[in-house]
Amino acid sequence: MAVAAGGFDLGDKAKVSHIGKDLIDRTQAKILDMLEDCVERSRLSPDPLPVIVVGGGSILVNGPIGGLEVIKPNHFGVANAVGAAIAQVSGEIDRVYALAEIGRDQALDDAKARAIDAAVAAGALRSSVEIVDVEDVPLAYLPGNATRVRVKAVGELHIGGAQNAA
């Protein structure tokens, strides 16, 4: 219906050109009604939070849903709606440090900072990023008191506004 209504350029428009305006209007009204019901049932707060739409069906959304702002992030058409709704943005660093050159605390601090930067680069809001996993594995077979450090950081998806201000 999005193509028939002229709201989205996809495929061969000639194949839906026979659909009448009345059917298009009724279908779009039904879709909006269903979306409003779904959003209302899914709300976790009475606050007027924006609705983020992603996935293939997001092309059916052309405006506010139930009076709530609609946000379509970059690449919205190829995102997985369930995954986007429940997942946080993460960044991970996995590197080997020579502790003879840099102390263990300094190596861990460096790895944590790099993991946070990776999460922000992937789209996390810097102020929400937290370290969730740290692995420090000594590597006896390498010289220089080497250790493998793996750090994972996660944060909330950054949506609009100032670009990841600290």
pLDDT in tens, 36-73: 998 998 888 888 889 988 887 888 888 899 999 999 88
Give the pLDDT band of residue 104 (cuts 50, 70, 90): very high
CB-based contacts of 120, cutoff 8 Å, min separation 6? 91, 126, 129, 155, 158, 164
Would residue 161 be called left, alpha or beta, if left means φ above 0 and alpha means ψ between -120 and 50 degrees? left
Task: Band the pLDDT of 161: cuts 50, 70, 90.
Answer: very low
pLDDT at position 110: 98
Locate the domains of the chain by residue range. Answer: 13-85, 88-155
SS3 70: strand
What pLDDT is recorded for position 144? 83
The mean per-residue pLDDT over the stretch 131-147 comes to: 92
| Rounded CA separation 150/62 (Å) | 43
Mean pLDDT over 124-132 rounds to 94
Q: Which pLDDT value is given to residue 164?
A: 41
Q: Report d(CA 49, CA 72) in Å as an integer.
A: 14
Res 106: pLDDT: 97
Stretch 150-164: mean pLDDT, rounded? Answer: 75
